[in-house]
Amino acid sequence: MNSLMKYLFKIILVLCITASCNQKHKKSNTLELFFKNSIPKDLPIPFMPELTAKNDLLIHRGVFSNDYTSYYYTVSDKSFKKFDVKVVTNSNGNWSQPKDAFFNSTFSDHGMSFSPDGNTLYFSSTRPLLTDTISNTWHIWKSKNVKGLWTNPEYVNIPNLSDKLISHPTIAKDGTLYFHSSNTDYSEMSIYYSEEKNGQFQNASKVPLTPKNTNGYCTPYISPDNDYLIYAAIGQPLELYISHKNATNQWSFAKKLPPSINQNGQGNPYITADGKFLFYARENDNKLKGWNIYCVSTEQFINKSTTP
């Protein structure tokens, strides 16, 4: 019996060591998907600039699937007349050639984000709805992953904003949906939230952000726990801010993200599912024409930002 117990103990020990090594290897591989050379802890670096380097397109947003195997990004022509969502997939550290995302249409599509569990993709689109009660502009759509297959996109109704432009949805674990909304001419743009009840989103309310910005706000990102919000304040240039919910469930006075991030005009913030990296769109310097997606560690502003 003692010999058998010793044998079983050795087997369990070997399995535990193997599992631990596999986890370290898996973590390493995940980071390698992001950065081939070095991890950007303090200074943002451009991410996959080759995606638009050889054409005349502008890149606006980039997000990963929650398992990091797919990278979705939005491009447009320089006149902003048509937005398309492309996707590249990663296999053994190698990225595929870009192709149209499964939800891309003949209309404009943009502002995509995944739910915290990765099973629902929200995005904004100009695809029309056959009704006179809903304005022909940007609205929110969603697609669900059912047994590995994505469903056909369905319209997300925000009852009190059906006549407005609605774009850039982002959702928390508790089902609260955030987005920016404006008049159809893009005036009076601000960030709103809508709570889901019985499978339906309710009338939206404006997020009371401070300091107040008379030009408005756009492109929100909500944390999975609905405890901090990152957004762009509209101006020349766009600047990224972060606001936390305080002990009374109110939004704190927002702080600008560090100067290393707020440089040339930036928006479309997105944080990876592990919470470790911020991705955002930024105008490039003279060495890189147009725009690019930049990435940087969240340590310098998530951990150092305090909740009042």
Residue boundaries of the structural domains of the chain: 37-303
CB 69 within 8 A of CB 303: no
pLDDT of residue 5: 52
pLDDT of residue 52: 74
pLDDT of residue 306: 43
Task: Indicate the pTM of the whole model.
Answer: 0.86
Provide the total of helices (H) and of strands (E) in the chain, helices listed first: 2, 24
Run means of pLDDT, 10 residues per run, the chain, 308 residues: 49 41 44 64 86 77 92 90 93 88 96 96 94 86 95 96 96 97 95 95 96 95 96 92 90 94 90 93 68 89 56
CB 121 within 8 A of CB 150: yes
φ/ψ of residue 167, rounded to 5? -155, 165
The DSSP bridge partners found for residue 111 are none
- For residue 31, with 0-12 CB atoms within 10 Å meaning exposed, 13-18 middle and 19 or more buried, which class applies? middle
Q: Is the dihedral of CA 182, 184, 186, 187 positive or negative?
A: negative
CATH of domain 37-303: 2.120.10.30
